[in-house]
Copies of this chain bind each other. A is one copy, B any other.
Amino acid sequence: MFYDFNLNHPVNIHFGKGALNYLADEIKVAGNKAMLVYGGGSIKKTGVYDKITGVLKEAGIEWVDFGGCVKPWYADILKAVDICKKEGVDCVIGIGGSTCMDMAKVIAAGAANDGDLWEYIKGAPRANKGLRIGAIPTYPSGGSETSRGAVVDDQETGGNGTMYGVIPDFSIINPEYAYTLDAKNTAYGAVIAFMQISLNYFTGDSPISERLIEGLLDTIRDSVKVSIEKPEDYQARANQALASIYGTNVMPSLGKSREWVYNVYDYIGIIRRQLGISYRETFSIIFPYWLKAEAKYHGDEIKNYMVKIWGVDANLSEEEAVDEGSKKIIEFYESIGLPMKYNLVAKTMPSKEQLIKATEAEYYDGMMPMNEIVQLFEACMEL
């Protein structure tokens, strides 16, 4: 079945070695004052910060710095919103990984809308579109540079949420900015895009989308190995930056229902919180085991994925094919240096009872039965 879809992707993307040439004009659409939201300072070491501020100086654009953003803490966002209002910022630019870009989106929404920002994050309608949003990714991965969502964590309450409807007005994507990524970050960035795109392979018949996905996944798998060995190979970095765009621009999902695949994010959420680890660590480990668990319900689709994407023999039975495919995924992930058991990365390991309790607390209809979820979790970790 080919499902109905909506496609609306208004980000103005400038991609390539010359992308930064468009920054000043993009800011000036809104005004003459920018806020730069960035992380722990790596963009200062790599020279990206100087390149950006050089462009701003030359164009006579003022800016305020908002650095040190390592997690998307709500308290920091509130501080930045205040600064935007006081300083009359016109355009908020997230520079770095998804954390900084997500924060820029929420700051832009908050600065243009009075009222409780947490309510907006939870979905209350916003009267104003928000300040202009820019994104300058230095770490191709989850695709915040072209996505509509922004994740926020509240350090004080432990709460978290995703604000929707916040999409960058423009993105400046220069694959060279990823040259300085180390092997681990390169591998995780590629794998996150790989998995987000993979989810679209299931749930519907859309040969154009499926062929696009096959091309994306093969290219990511080839390119990440090149990038790890030769960090300054432009073609490989460009392939991954383009794949990262596709990872969230919905093109690979056109015609698909995406019915059951998003459940994986709920399993990820439970493990993340229980083990105190990151999204990328959680997703990469659970992915092959989750496919095996879901094969009970969607065996034909998952076998097809293993055959087409992982080169598994089509003559194997469904169970054998899924089993062999998930082994190949684990082998590949380990070959690029990723840990594939939660015990290797967990900040704290819960007991089996704690994990079951946490899962029961978040259980809803549409998840796999409790005993199968527990089996899935046990496959990924020694409890």
Of the 9-residue stretches A62-70, A180-188, A214-222, A296-304, which lies at the interface with chain B? A214-222
Task: Let me know if A235 is at the binding interface, CB within 8 A.
Answer: yes
- Chain B: minimal CB distance from A180 (Å): 19
Selected from B4, B212, B216, B218, the residue in CB contact (under 8 A) with A16 is B4
Give CA–CA (A318, B47) in the complex, Å.
Answer: 46
Task: Let me know if A251 is at the binding interface, CB within 8 A.
Answer: yes
Using Cβ atoms and an 8 Å threshold, which residues of chain B touch A10? 8-10
Give CA–CA (A10, B255) in the complex, Å.
Answer: 19
Give CA–CA (A242, B18) in the complex, Å.
Answer: 31
Task: Let me know if A7 is at the binding interface, CB within 8 A.
Answer: yes
Using Cβ atoms and an 8 Å threshold, which residues of chain B touch A214? 211, 215
Count this chain's copies in the assembly. Answer: 2
- Chain B: minimal CB distance from A276 (Å): 35
Using Cβ atoms and an 8 Å threshold, which residues of chain B touch A206? 238-239, 242
Give CA–CA (A293, B274) in the complex, Å.
Answer: 65
Give CA–CA (A234, B204) in the complex, Å.
Answer: 13
Contact in complex: A219, B215 (CB < 8 Å): no
Selected from B9, B12, B239, the residue in CB contact (under 8 A) with A6 is B12
List A1-57 residues whose CB lies under 8 Å from chain B.
2-19, 22
Using Cβ atoms and an 8 Å threshold, which residues of chain B touch A109? none
Task: Let me know if A254 is at the binding interface, CB within 8 A.
Answer: yes
Contact in complex: A211, B208 (CB < 8 Å): no
Give CA–CA (A104, B210) in the complex, Å.
Answer: 34
- Chain B: minimal CB distance from A23 (Å): 13
List A247-271 residues whose CB lies under 8 Å from chain B.
251, 254-255
Using Cβ atoms and an 8 Å threshold, which residues of chain B touch A7? 11-13, 15, 245
Task: Let me know if A243 is at the binding interface, CB within 8 A.
Answer: yes
Using Cβ atoms and an 8 Å threshold, which residues of chain B touch A219? 207-208, 211
